[in-house]
Amino acid sequence: MKIRTGLHFSSKLPRLVIVSVAKNEHMEKITILIADDHTLVRETWSLILNSDPRFHVVAECGTGEEAVELSKNLRPAIVIMDINLPGINGIEATNLIRKYSPGSRILGVSLHTQPTYARKMMQKGAMGYVTKNSSKEEMFKAIIEVYNGKKYVCEEIKNILSEQVISGEDQQSGLNALSQREIEIIAFIRKGHSSKEIADALNISVKTVEVHRYNILKKLHLKNAAALVNFINNSQLDFG
């Protein structure tokens, strides 16, 4: 955990001027806390952000617990929060920071490009989400937008969401084409059952279950079993 001190001024200046300048500098800069479990990532972003006159990194930390504690004490305007933190993860830490430092606005950052992660962060109170593939310019834009009370989602996530909307139309037509037996099998898959367990429960052969699974993938325009499991877990539909 690293806390950065503020600007230093010459003692030769009149006392009134020192107070005035310090206050103006503080008001102009957006104070930022960086929470990431990789030291190099934290220090790199600190260097980049502090090189811009609009920003001032007041502290860095590597765990969710430290992020919550520092937010309580420092009340930063922006918390750049990595999702994958040791101890309390970034999603849980976001929820706590919103409770203990409601004035701090949280920008989620992660390697994960699945929109599900962005959605979870936003549901816990984050105002924005960017992936670690985002550029410096996009990070700056995200910070400014979030600071001004606007929600921000990076271009990479937006593009993935657009693709999902397009493919979702195909999946909806595929859902309508599913047979009752295929819906039953999806319900078993959702509960974590293997093909053999499904076969025993439905009194059919394992080969028949595999044929049904293949047809389900084809109808839903999914590439493999992992994609099917992901679709089922993220779906709001009730398969029984």
Each residue of 177-219: pLDDT tens digit?
Answer: 788 888 889 889 888 899 999 999 999 999 999 999 999 888 8
Select from 121, 215, 234, 111 the least CA-distant residue to 168. Answer: 234
Annotated domain spans of the chain = 2-158, 178-234
Residue 114, pLDDT > 80, answer: no
Q: Which CATH number is correct for 2-158, 3.20.20.70, 3.40.50.2300, 1.10.357.10, 3.30.1240.10? A: 3.40.50.2300
User: pTM, whole model, 2 decimals?
Assistant: 0.61
Tens-place pLDDT, residues 162-185: 665 545 555 556 667 788 888 889
- Chain centroid offset of residue 186 CA: 28
Strands (E), 46-120: 55-61, 78-82, 105-110
pLDDT band for position 10 (cuts 50, 70, 90): very low
**What is the CATH T-level fold of the domain 178-234, as seen in this structure?**
Arc Repressor Mutant, subunit A (1.10.10)
C-alpha–C-alpha distance, residues 172 and 177, integer Å: 9
C-alpha–C-alpha distance, residues 58 and 82, integer Å: 17
C-alpha–C-alpha distance, residues 112 and 82, integer Å: 10
* Encoded amino acid at 69, one letter: E
